Amino acid sequence: MERNHLILAVVAVVALLIAPHLLYSVFLMKVLCFALFACAFNLLLGYGGLLSFGHAAYFGSASYVTAHTMKVWGFTPELGIIAGMLAAALLGLVFGWLAIRRAGIYFAMVTLAFAQMVYFYALQAPFTGGEDGIQAVPRGELFGFIDLRDDISLYYFVLALFLIGFFVLYRTVYSPFGQVLKAIRENEPRAISLGYRTNHFKLATFVLSATFSGMAGAATVLVFQLASLTYVEWQMSGEVVLMTLLGGMGTVLGPVVGAALVVTLQTYLAPFGAWVTIILGVIFVICVLLFRRGIVGEALARFAFLKNDKAQLQRSDVAEATVTKEAAHDPVKPL
């Protein structure tokens, strides 16, 4: 497994290094930012089994903090991004600490409500610029000497950020921590009886997920030089859920594939206005009704069937079972 992953990783990195010379680099950067966002989200949903419906809060608040510190306080890009990530982490710590008290659908509703609170704050607070957002954020010079105004150099910086984030999330999933996380998702009471403080694990995962969602939000600010209400709105939270679901939750590459597809779709359908919403909704419905494993999960399942590879089979089973287990202490009796 490790060797396959390594080969795939080398091929992917080479492709990503060449890509900006073949495709429009701003589009590619947008894909990378959203892919990172979806990967961070997938850590929580796919491996932790926790559906957050308010991840826009972390993405958006990081984007505001990065934009503000870079534009008003003159931070360099790397400091701005760190500031944004810290803000997202802090917000994730507070909201996560409150939200993990409930499981399942209540968790989803609580996170959605908190995200809406952040939205109203962003709408009213003086430093966010209300409806206009923070515009014309300077891209600045990385470490004080690499000029990011050039799209190609910015692309490589965003790519580096994506790879760092992706690697950290990947390592987390395949670490002992990640294994415990999966155990909690599959059977929380049993994990507790084995002596794990499951709430600590859930909170740590929540904060990690929020932090890298923040990284994605901060990187988006550099690309578009803008932080606006779009980034904290509920639609954003919904989109990241869709990207993960479409690509395959609980798979490492699923969110990347999902993000690439959704961003492409939005780019080409942008002139049709509200039709985008309808099409995203239709994809949502089709995913839930017909292929819950997502594209990558489905592909892995086929692959496992052909090769009869047990490890692969198990992994795709996990993808299917991702959210089928819910904490047993939910107060409502199952049907």
Does residue number 230 form part of the binding site for another protein (CB under 8 A)?
no
Does residue number 334 form part of the binding site for another protein (CB under 8 A)?
yes
Q: CB 283 → another protein: shortest distance, Å?
A: 8
Are 185 and 325 in contact, with CB atoms under 8 Å apart?
A: yes
Are 246 and 258 in contact, with CB atoms under 8 Å apart?
A: yes
Q: How many CB atoms lie within 10 A of CB 168?
A: 17
> 330: phi > 0 → left, psi -120 to 50 → alpha, else beta; which?
beta
**Between 104 and 138, whose beta carbon lies closer to another protein?**
104
Alpha carbon distance 254, 252 (integer Å): 6
Does residue number 238 form part of the binding site for another protein (CB under 8 A)?
yes
Q: Name the nearest CA neighbour of 253 among 209, 313, 314, 319.
A: 319
Alpha carbon distance 298, 286 (integer Å): 14
Are 295 and 246 in contact, with CB atoms under 8 Å apart?
A: yes
Contact residue for another protein among 234, 261, 269, 317 (CB under 8 A): 234
Q: CB 102 → another protein: shortest distance, Å?
A: 6
Q: How many CB atoms lie within 10 A of CB 106?
A: 15
Are 78 and 142 in contact, with CB atoms under 8 Å apart?
A: yes
Phi and psi angles of residue 53, each rounded to the nearest 5 degrees, phi first: -105, 20
Does residue number 240 form part of the binding site for another protein (CB under 8 A)?
no
**Between 60 and 238, whose beta carbon lies closer to another protein?**
238
# binding residues, another protein (CB under 8 A): 50
Among the listed ranges 30-38, 59-67, 97-105, 163-171, the one in contact with another protein (CB under 8 A) is: 97-105
Q: CB 159 → another protein: shortest distance, Å?
A: 31
**Between 115 and 263, whose beta carbon lies closer to another protein?**
115
Secondary structure (DSSP) of 71-140: HTS---HHHHHHHHHHHHHHHHHHHHHHHTTS-HHHHHHHHHHHHHHHHHHHHH-GGGTTTT-B------
Does residue number 90 form part of the binding site for another protein (CB under 8 A)?
no
**Between 22 and 335, whose beta carbon lies closer to another protein?**
335
Site for another protein in 48-77 (CB under 8 A): 51, 53
CA dihedral 245, 248, 250, 253 (to 10 degrees): -120
Place of tokens 């910015």: 154
Does residue number 206 form part of the binding site for another protein (CB under 8 A)?
no
Site for another protein in 136-165 (CB under 8 A): none
**Between 22 and 332, whose beta carbon lies closer to another protein?**
332
Alpha carbon distance 185, 283 (integer Å): 26
Does residue number 120 form part of the binding site for another protein (CB under 8 A)?
yes
Does residue number 30 form part of the binding site for another protein (CB under 8 A)?
no
Per-residue x/- marks for another protein, 263-302, CB under 8 A? ----------xxxxxx-xxxxxx-xxx--x----------
Contact residue for another protein among 10, 11, 105, 164 (CB under 8 A): 105
Does residue number 126 form part of the binding site for another protein (CB under 8 A)?
no
**Between 155 and 231, whose beta carbon lies closer to another protein?**
231
Alpha carbon distance 77, 144 (integer Å): 9
Site of interaction with another protein (CB under 8 A): 51, 53, 98-99, 101-102, 104-106, 108-110, 112-114, 116-117, 120-121, 124, 234, 238, 241, 245, 273-278, 280-285, 287-289, 292, 323-326, 329, 331-335
